[in-house]
């Protein structure tokens, strides 16, 4: 998820692991030219970690499994999605807290980046991340009336859906709810940006702000690229 210079030749790596969650460690010689391709953000690696005590930072030995970064290097939007995914995970997850389902869902998205339209899948991934972290949104019924139809907003206070009628007087204060997050259509390109606005708001409010952090710059780059693609009518959509 990240690699920071450490001393003259080493790096501090942050990995998302299947069993041990977000896990940091030092890799000796990680700044060498031979290792740069292995340590690209978003690559799948096999890692062995050793430390004298469990609470120590410890040392990694790393071997490349799949070079996902190289596969999307010439697709700016896909590369931005990959780096955004990694930056968000690195910012949001607690150290060594197991998230096996999140690991598998993240890997599934990374594998799909080069093969198929990705933007909607990316938004759905962020939506699932909120649930994984305990801040899932309730889109089943209207927060004000309990109705289950014509839900087009989300309350920024409660994280629950709001119907068109109930939300009309407050629409400027509510967040748009893209239909695809409820499994409905038709899908419009603008829904992707609405979805990112929705998930970004709650990630920022509930996860990052309490830690004194903010949404990563990589995510803003992704949004900028998607906005340009929409303006040019060049955004591929799932479904």
- Summarised one tens digit per residue, pLDDT across range 208-224 is 999 999 999 999 999 99
Q: Quote the crossing angle between the two packed helices 119-132 and 189-202, to the nearest 10°.
A: 20
> Which structure tokens are listed for 56?
């120590």
Averaged over 173-192, what is the pLDDT? 94
Q: Is the per-residue pLDDT at 18 higher than 90?
A: yes
Taking domain 2-70, whether its CATH number is 2.40.50.140 is answered by yes
Q: Do domains 2-70 and 76-231 have the same CATH topology?
A: no
- CATH 1.20.1440.120: does it fit domain 76-231? yes
Does residue 159 have a pLDDT over 60? yes
The whole-angstrom separation of Cα 66 and Cα 140 is: 39
What is the distance of C-alpha 179 from the center of its chain? 20
What pLDDT is recorded for position 59? 96
238 pLDDT more than 70: no
CB atoms within 10 A of CB 65: 12
Task: List the domain boundaries for the chain.
Answer: 2-70, 76-231
Tell me what pLDDT residue 35 has: 87
pTM for the predicted model, two decimal places: 0.94
């Amino acid at each position: 998820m990240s690699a920071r210079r450490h001393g003259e030749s080493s790096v501090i790596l942050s990995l998302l692991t299947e069993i041990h969650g977000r896990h940091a460690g030092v890799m000796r010689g990680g700044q060498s030219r031979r290792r740069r391709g292995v340590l690209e953000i978003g690559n799948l690696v096999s890692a062995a970690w050793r430390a004298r005590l469990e609470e120590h930072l410890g040392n990694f030995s790393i071997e490349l499994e799949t070079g996902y970064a190289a596969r999307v290097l010439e697709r700016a939007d896909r590369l931005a999605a990959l780096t955004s995914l990694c930056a968000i995970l690195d910012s949001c997850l607690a150290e060594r807290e197991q998230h096996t389902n999140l690991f598998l869902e993240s890997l599934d998205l990374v594998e799909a980046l080069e093969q198929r339209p990705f933007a909607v899948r990316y938004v759905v991934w962020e939506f699932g991340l909120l649930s994984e972290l305990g801040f899932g949104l309730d889109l089943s019924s209207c927060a004000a009336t309990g109705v289950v139809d014509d839900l087009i907003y989300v309350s920024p206070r409660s994280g629950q859906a709001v119907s068109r009628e109930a939300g009309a007087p407050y629409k400027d204060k509510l967040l748009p709810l893209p239909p695809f997050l409820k499994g409905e259509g038709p899908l419009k390109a603008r829904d992707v940006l609405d979805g990112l606005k929705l998930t970004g708001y709650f990630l920022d409010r509930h996860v990052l702000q309490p830690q004194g952090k903010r949404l990563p710059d990589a995510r803003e780059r992704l949004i900028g690229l998607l906005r340009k693609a929409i303006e040019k009518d060049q955004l591929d959509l799932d479904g």
